[in-house]
């Protein structure tokens, strides 16, 4: 099994990253804080004002380490890319498929809806009784409707608009009861419905942050198998948007991001003090809060699960790569469809 | 019209082992840098130095560029010795291999291809060459007999067809081959044998079964 390489997240303002021999060295105020050999590093994500030496950029490009710069509010700024970018035959196949992507989109939406439903069912099983009757009934009703969407998808629902519509409908249903899954005793930790840019409550703040991390991993996964991260199937192309990374992320979000957010909040690893409200009502994680999320994220990625199509155990962090690989094998004609990742 | 790109001779050894492997490496540019391939590179970095040396009636040239227009192949030979006899010099290719002699004929085919190039380039018959195995430190002489020549030409033709069609042949799982294959994790021959559409339908069916009462 391919090794799960480390991601180095640099959140300290003013940190300086440089190359020293075959290692990346991170310094803060002149003191060495981390040293990682290149061969153990998969990517580097720098948040906000972090210095990166040109020699290190070169080494990252040469070693296939993706280096990404995000701004203070976690928006994508830049990425360093090496000389080998993509497999031209695969990309041609990807572009051709993007003209008629119905069945790939069907798989992506199936995976997403199935996993959303599994997250809700798991909650009912574990906490359904403690919730009281009304929330439990609401969640069950949503599970029922998600099951019907899945049946429609399996029965051959066609047309991109319909498929995208099914995805949207499922997302709306899912988030309509998502607040019931938040069981933090902190009264400030509430979910007021999905909001982005800016997130308007702490739950959305964690979700948005995790989605950023997951997008980055999916983008790297797409690139590492030679796919063009900008050309998607479910997401429409738009300049600057990593549509394929967003596609790959859809089926993983409920499990890798949503569940992690819930467990951090419900176990009070994240509390009200880990959030700050900005002018205009946007809610953001504090630096401390982010560090908690990043640590948990790294741990979660090391957890192993049975991959249903691979039929082997694989660390969760490797799933984006495996899915990108199966997508590329489908595009090259080796597989008759893209196998969704079903979480069980 | 431009002549087609020559087939790299290094692809022939992969093609003998598995045509799909050759396509994944040379057509799709997937590369599993495992220990074996890494050591292979180091070994070549040492032997690829061009230049010549003389020893006891043998002229040696390393890093020699070889090509055959007839076959449409090209590559670099580790070492070619030119053995002096009464009627001139007979080329004698020597290829370095890590490890020891293998059961399949991949190394021999790659060497024979060099012999065919040398015949075309010098106009002289090249009856044999040698493989040098690093692990056993031994030279094994390989006669370029009719069988080996036929296998080599067939391998070139198979690869040519794959390259022209730009189509990677499907994976056929064979335990003896795939288990030792450095690309098995990129190729995933076992999973590729599974029809996804049927699998996907079954998965959804199972997901929608009523929860067993607990
Ligand atoms: S895993 Fe098997 S089928 Fe795939 S390239 Fe290797 S030998 Fe060929």
Residues of chain A with pLDDT below 50 are none
Q: What is the pLDDT of residue A225?
A: 81
Which residue does chain A place closest to B34, by CA atoms?
A2
Residue A151 CA, ligand 1 centroid: distance in Å: 36
What DSSP string runs through B95-123? Answer: EEESS---SSSHHHHHHHHHHHHHHHHHS
Q: Can you give the pLDDT of all 214 residues of chain B as single tens digits?
A: 555 678 889 899 999 989 999 998 888 877 654 444 444 555 555 554 444 445 567 888 888 899 999 999 999 998 999 998 888 889 999 998 887 777 789 999 999 999 999 999 999 999 999 999 888 888 899 999 999 999 999 999 999 999 988 888 988 888 888 988 888 888 888 888 789 999 999 999 888 887 655 5
Which pLDDT tens digit goes with each residue over A15-27?
899 999 989 999 9
Q: Which of residues 175-234 of A touch B (CB under 8 A)?
A: 226
Just give the CATH number of A6-80: 3.100.10.20
pLDDT of residue A66: 82
Q: H helices of A258-337, where?
A: 259-266, 287-302, 319-331
Rounded (10°) angle between helices B10-17 and B106-122 = 140
**pLDDT at A1 (0 to 100):** 52
**Cross-chain CB nearest to B191 (options A125, A309, A342):** A309
Supply the pLDDT for residue A167: 93
Distance from Cα B173 to the centre of ligand 1, integer Å:
7
Q: Structural domain boundaries of chain B?
A: 7-169
pLDDT in tens, B156-213: 999 999 998 888 898 888 888 898 888 888 888 888 878 999 999 999 988 888 765 5
Quick: pLDDT tens for A112-123: 999 999 999 998
Instruction: Give residues with Cβ within 8 angstroms of A313, minimum separation 6.
Output: A304, A305, A306, A307
**B152: CA distance to ligand 1 center in Å?**
20
Select from A114, A110, A121 the least CA-distant residue to A155.
Answer: A110
Examine domains A6-80 and A92-332 and report if their fold is the same: no
Token output for A148 = 């019907």
Residue B25 beta carbon below 6 angstroms from any ligand 1 atom: no
Q: In chain A, which residues have their Cβ closer than 8 Å to the Cβ of B170? A: 334
Report the nearest-CA residue for atom 1 of ligand 1.
Answer: B184
Q: Is A26 exposed, middle or buried (0-12, 13-18, 19+ CB in 10 A)?
A: buried
Q: Please state which CATH class domain A92-332 belongs to.
A: mainly alpha
Q: Do B27 and A147 touch (CB under 8 A)?
A: no
The residues, ordered by sequence, that sit 6+ positions from B4 with a Cβ below 8 Å of its Cβ are B72, B160, B163, B164
A134 is in an annotated binding site: no
**Chain B residues within an 8 Å CB radius of A84:** 29
User: Crossing angle of helices A202-224/A243-250, nearest 10°?
Assistant: 110
**pLDDT averaged over every residue in chain B:** 83
Instruction: Look at residues A251, A259, A255, A254 and name the one whose alpha carbon lies nearest to residue A339.
Output: A251
Q: What is the pLDDT of residue B49?
A: 44
**Residue-level pLDDT at A261:** 94
pLDDT of residue A104: 95
Q: Where are the domains of chain A?
A: 6-80, 92-332
CB of residue B66 inside a 6 A radius of ligand 1: no
* Neighbour tally for B136: CB within 10 Å: 12
Question: Would an 8 Å CB–CB cutoff place A126 in contact with chain B?
Answer: no
- Report pLDDT for A45: 86
């Amino acid at each position: 099994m391919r090794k799960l390489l480390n991601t180095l997240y640099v959140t300290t303002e003013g940190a300086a990253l440089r190359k020293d021999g075959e290692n990346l060295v991170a310094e803060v105020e002149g003191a060495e804080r981390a040293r990682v050999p290149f061969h153990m590093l998969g990517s580097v994500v720098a948040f906000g004002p972090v210095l990166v030496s040109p020699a290190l950029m070169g080494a990252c490009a040469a070693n296939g380490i993706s280096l990404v710069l995000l701004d203070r509010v976690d928006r994508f700024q830049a990425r360093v890319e090496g000389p080998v970018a993509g497999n031209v035959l695969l990309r041609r196949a990807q572009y051709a498929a993007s003209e008629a992507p119905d069945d790939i989109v069907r798989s992506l939406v199936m995976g997403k809806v199935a996993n959303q439903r599994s997250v809700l069912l798991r909650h009912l099983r574990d906490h359904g009784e403690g919730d009281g009757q009304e929330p439990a009934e609401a969640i069950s009703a949503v599970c029922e409707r998600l099951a019907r969407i899945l049946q429609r998808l399996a029965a051959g629902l066609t047309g991109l608009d319909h498929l995208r519509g099914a995805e949207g409908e499922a997302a709306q249903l899912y988030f309509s009861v998502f607040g019931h899954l938040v069981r933090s005793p902190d009264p400030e930790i509430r979910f007021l419905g999905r909001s982005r840019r800016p997130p308007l409550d702490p739950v959305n703040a964690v979700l948005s942050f995790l989605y950023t991390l997951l997008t980055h991993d999916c983008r790297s996964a797409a690139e590492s198998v030679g796919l063009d991260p900008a050309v998607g199937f479910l997401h429409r192309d738009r300049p600057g948007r990593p549509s394929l990374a967003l596609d790959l992320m859809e089926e993983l979000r409920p499990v890798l991001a949503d569940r992690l957010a819930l467990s951090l909040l419900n176990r009070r690893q994240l509390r009200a003090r880990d959030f700050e409200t900005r002018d205009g009502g946007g809610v953001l994680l504090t630096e401390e809060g982010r560090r908690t999320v990043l640590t948990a994220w790294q741990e979660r990625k090391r957890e192993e699960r049975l991959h249903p199509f691979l039929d082997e155990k694989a660390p969760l962090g490797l799933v984006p790569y495996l899915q990108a690989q199966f997508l590329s094998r489908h595009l090259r004609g080796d597989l008759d469809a893209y196998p969704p990742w079903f979480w069980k | 019209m431009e002549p087609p790109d020559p087939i790299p001779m290094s692809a022939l050894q992969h093609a003998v082992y598995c045509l799909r492997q050759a396509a994944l490496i040379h057509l799709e540019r997937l590369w599993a840098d495992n220990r074996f391939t890494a050591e292979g590179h180091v070994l070549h970095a040492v032997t690829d130095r061009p230049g010549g040396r003389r020893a006891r009636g043998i002229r040696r040239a390393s890093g020699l560029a070889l090509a055959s227009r007839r076959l449409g192949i090209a590559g670099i030979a580790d070492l070619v010795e030119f053995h002096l006899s009464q009627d001139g010099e007979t080329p004698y290719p020597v290829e370095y291999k890590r490890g020891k002699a293998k059961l399949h004929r991949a190394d021999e085919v790659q060497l024979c291809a060099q012999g065919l190039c040398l015949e075309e380039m010098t106009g002289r018959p090249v009856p044999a060459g040698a493989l040098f195995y690093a692990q056993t430190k031994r030279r094994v002489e390989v006669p370029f007999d009719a069988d080996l020549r036929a296998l080599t030409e067939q391998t070139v033709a198979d690869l040519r067809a794959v390259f022209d069609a730009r189509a990677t042949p499907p994976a056929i799982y064979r335990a003896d081959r795939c288990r030792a294959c450095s690309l098995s994790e990129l190729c995933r021959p076992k999973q590729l044998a599974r029809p996804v559409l049927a699998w996907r339908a079954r998965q959804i069916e199972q997901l929608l079964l009523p929860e067993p009462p607990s």
